[in-house]
Structure 1
């Protein structure tokens, strides 16, 4: 008997997206409280072209100064890591990133950058530099194998706690000699 399972691309894209947030956040020192995929969405009744599967990654920075430049950088990189990991998985054109598909992350990133610098031109440069850096970092070991491993586990459907995320990150960092 042949089983013909339909692949759920939206689920896979979301798994890579959330894994990107979790792995980069964890690598930058955050505690990941949980990361998961969710069937339910407040957007279900909206446009038909929106994906039906959404995820959640709860990043906990602990007691930090939110105005410290290093903290602002960590938050910006973690916010953008989800969309960049998804974008890399989709193997889309290297110069084209469709921000409409991850508008909530983009809004968070813009808000974060506004706290970093008041001048719009400087804000755009900070965003561009962060995106360029993440494209290079996420695409290479140890980050990409860690993202892929976590995305695979997320695809099973159970929420993943922060300790498991940290185990995956430690495993791939050790394998890569970091």
Structure 2
């Protein structure tokens, strides 16, 4: 069931116009940059967007010298966090996704995880690519807060979940910010 849904939602995402994706991404980044959890975070684990995903390159380049940014690298079927200090630290790697050239793994605590997904639901659950990399990372509980980024047009009411799935704390789309975990309500 999840496999069919992945195909369906990737196809839907691929049919979104480039102008919509660009415009939505800019609005999503504006919203995240104003949120107190982002502003307070010093160590941020962020995905490098590929294909029709939200293109985080803009956000990474803007903040790379202002925050400690970590991106994923897949080695030996395991996702590792690696700090980057320049966009040039990246090269095509696993699945053709940009990854760090070096392998200086970071195993410490992260303040904020900016999480990828094919789609999110309104409860903060994600339908990922099926490899379980982020599920394994989330199970370590070595982070404070997680934010999911989503195109509003792809936000679902629900997605199928398993017992090990963990919801993100906040979802940001170009239209709205959904606080899943009330502890992170920006009014607090």
The answer, yes or no, to whether TM exceeds 0.5 is no
Name whichever structure is richer in helix by fraction: 1
State the TM-score, normalized to the length of structure 1.
0.30
Higher relative contact order (CA 8 A, sep 6+): 1
State the TM-score, normalized to the length of structure 2.
0.29
Name whichever structure is richer in strand by fraction: 2
Question: Could you say which structure has the larger radius of gyration?
Answer: 1
